Amino acid sequence: AKQEGRNGYSFYTPEMQARSVRNLQLENELRRALERKQLQVYYQPQVALEDGRILGAEALLRWQHPEFGAVSPAEFIPIAENSGLILSIGEWVLRTAMSQLKIWMDAGLPPMVVAVNLSAIQFRHHNLPDLVTQMLDEIQVPAQYLELELTEGVAMDDPEGAMAIMNDLHGRGIRMSIDDFGTGYSSLSYLKRFKVYKLKIDQSFVRNIVEDSEDRAIVSAIISLASSLGMQTIAEGVETGGQLAFLQEQGCDEIQGYYFSKPLPAEQFESFVREAQDN
Ligand code: C2E
Ligand code: CA
Ligand code: CA
Ligand code: CA
């Protein structure tokens, strides 16, 4: 985005310039982040509201840079998408998460589902279904333990195309969930036809459910919609007991949020699961 100068020239404001310099630096650094082992996958528990069992985890990418420090995925994922780096990074996240799951299964942790975020480019890449099934085969994790998260915006951007890919993945036994549900514009007729296992209620609706009656109405509408379409619901960003109580009363299936745990490195996640088992 440029601004039109008085004499017709386009120029960048100093602030825009600083931002694009940082973006270019980050893009360059991101190219080497994998080989330099600066990327890590963290795991945030997903918990059943019925009995408090840990059903699985969402895999969330972390980038620790020696100079820039911890760079937020909200900043570097868009850079990875615009530069095409997301394909190799996304494949690495999938492989890392599935290999970790295999380690946990072999170590006797209860069976869990690991959810991995997919960007639009990965989802629409022609060989995604083959890539995923080959990887699961190689690592020897059954397909039912992988869940792929796709944002509502990406799914609804080209619903016919999305449906074909989802059908393919579904046929291979892989679960799909719709992320950030409620922030985009869902066509209900498509939603009905999508082979989707779970709707993830966006944290912007969960944040104020205790105080805000409109957010409460939206959340309970999403839960009944999902239940009438035969889909599960998970609420994101649950931080307080008050939020949890409302979600439980509404019949939400699962929650994810700081109330239970922040995203954790693999070893800490494992201890978290073992401690929960002992209680
Ligand atoms: P998301 O998929 O919606 O992930 C949920 C975000 O909410 C995560 O932020 C998580 O750390 C944060 N969160 C979880 N519980 C709470 C809570 O109780 N309160 C609050 N305030 N926040 C909570 P994070 O890890 O910074 O990731 C941001 C976004 O970056 C993700 O949003 C996702 O869109 C993207 N992302 C992260 N990892 C990947 C990845 O491996 N691939 C792709 N394509 N995108 C990723
Ligand atoms: Ca997600
Ligand atoms: Ca989300
Ligand atoms: Ca989000």
Residue type, 86: I
Per DSSP, the residues of 106-147 read HTTPPP-EEEEE--HHHHHSTTHHHHHHHHHHHHT--GGGEE
Give the model's pLDDT for residue 9.
Answer: 60
Kindly provide the ipTM of the predicted complex, given to two decimals: 0.97
Tell me, using a 6 A CB cutoff, whether residue 179 lines ligand 1: yes
In three-state secondary structure terms, 152 is helix
Tell me, using a 6 A CB cutoff, whether residue 41 lines ligand 1: no
CA separation for the pair 87, 46 (Å, rounded): 26
Q: Taking ligand 2, which is a single-atom ion, which protein residues have CB atoms under 5 Å away?
A: 117, 149, 179
Tens-place pLDDT, residues 131-182: 999 999 999 999 999 999 999 999 999 999 999 999 999 999 999 999 999 9
Tell me, using a 6 A CB cutoff, whether residue 12 lines ligand 1: no
Index of the ligand 1 atom closest to the CA of residue 72: 26
CA separation for the pair 261, 246 (Å, rounded): 19
